[in-house]
């Protein structure tokens, strides 16, 4: 009888441990709290180098208005396990730029890890490793991959934040200007505040070679998103309404292209063109008349596959 009771007990424990957790409402609320129309202030400053002869680069600063919104939500009502958040830069009443995208997945076990030279490798985590965690997948303006990190949202002592450390390509503010390092090891901290949120970064600029990793310099980043009048983002909302169908197809095709690849490697240019420009041009052509997803998706796939090594 004792052995039978023990067997039942162990079976119950196994059943509970193997079942996926439900996303916490507080986590979902924190992710969505990053949405809105924001005045954004970007500041980056190099702080350290092990090389005494290293010349620190000038501090980088920029400002802008950014629309951040949930464009897609999957999962049970009130407790989604995937949220697609799109960023749109708005400059005045007429200039709108599709900015980066972040997908949040709950207890995600299949990640792309950046290696170097526009190459990513598939990494599989166990359910135990991602228990209760959210993966943030960050994508370029053309919806190609950038970096992915998994961590737990922390809600304690009146603070709400998420933090992870992952390798990533050079940021857009640097990859066209310098070639003295090839990997950025990013510690990203998303902290929710009453006025919006703060994206704080502690980044290491790494020289990766067959001999291993060498630290070139470290930097501190502080991107402050402060909610502002929604009217300042009106042009961004109107632009997305006109272009959404095409860009949803782009991200859908990317998902189909990436899903079964153990390694992803991208070419920077093909015949003097870059992927972002080609996708932009294709979108302008596809949206000149009634949009036809069935016709456009194969063209999107052909364009993306030209840049896959």
For 75-99, what is each residue's pLDDT tens digit? 987 789 999 999 999 987 789 999 9
Q: Facing residues of 188 across strands?
A: 164, 201
Confidence grade of residue 20 (pLDDT, cut at 50, 70, 90): low
pLDDT digits (tens, 9 = 90+) for 98-146: 999 999 999 999 999 999 999 999 999 999 999 999 999 999 999 999 9
For the chain, domains (ranges, CATH) are: 26-229 (2.40.128)
Tokens representing 209 are: 């070679």
The pLDDT of residue 289: 76
pTM: 0.91
Q: Considering the chain, what percentage of its residues have pLDDT values greater than 90?
A: 87
Least reliable range by pLDDT among 5-19, 117-131, 284-298: 5-19
Contacts of 170 (CB under 8 A, 6+ apart): 178, 181, 182, 184
The pLDDT of residue 76: 83
Residue 277 has pLDDT above 80, yes or no: yes
pLDDT digits (tens, 9 = 90+) for 154-171: 999 999 999 999 999 999
Q: Is 84 left (phi over 0), alpha (psi -120 to 50) or beta?
A: beta
Contacts of 6 (CB under 8 A, 6+ apart): none
């Amino acid at each position: 009888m004792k052995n039978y009771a023990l067997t039942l007990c162990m079976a119950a424990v196994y059943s509970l441990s193997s079942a996926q957790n439900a996303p916490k409402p507080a986590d979902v609320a924190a992710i969505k709290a990053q949405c809105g129309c924001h005045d954004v202030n970007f500041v980056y400053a190099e702080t350290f180098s092990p090389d005494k002869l290293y010349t620190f680069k000038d501090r980088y600063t920029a400002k802008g208005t950014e629309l951040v919104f949930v464009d897609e939500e999957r999962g049970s009502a009130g407790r989604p396990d995937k949220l697609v958040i799109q960023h749109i830069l708005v400059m005045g009443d007429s200039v709108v730029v599709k900015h980066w995208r972040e997908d949040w997945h709950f207890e995600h076990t299949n990640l792309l890890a950046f290696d170097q030279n526009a190459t990513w490798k598939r990494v599989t985590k166990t359910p135990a490793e991602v228990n209760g965690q959210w993966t943030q997948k960050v994508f370029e303006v053309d919806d190609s991959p950038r970096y992915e990190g998994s961590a737990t949202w922390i809600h304690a002592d009146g603070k709400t934040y998420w933090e992870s450390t992952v390798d990533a390509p050079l940021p857009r503010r640097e990859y066209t200007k310098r070639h003295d390092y090839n990997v950025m090891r990013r510690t990203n901290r998303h902290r929710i505040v009453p006025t919006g949120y703060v994206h704080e970064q502690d980044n290491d600029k790494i020289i990766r070679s067959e001999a291993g990793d060498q630290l070139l310099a470290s930097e501190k980043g502080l991107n402050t998103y402060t909610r502002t009048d929604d009217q300042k983002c009106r042009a961004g909302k109107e632009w997305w309404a006109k272009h959404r169908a095409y860009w949803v197809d782009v991200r859908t095709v990317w998902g189909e292209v990436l899903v079964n690849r153990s390694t992803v490697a991208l070419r920077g240019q093909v015949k003097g063109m870059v992927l972002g420009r080609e996708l932009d041009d294709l979108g302008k052509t596809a949206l000149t008349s009634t949009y036809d997803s069935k016709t456009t998706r194969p063209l999107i796939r052909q364009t993306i596959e030209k840049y896959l090594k």
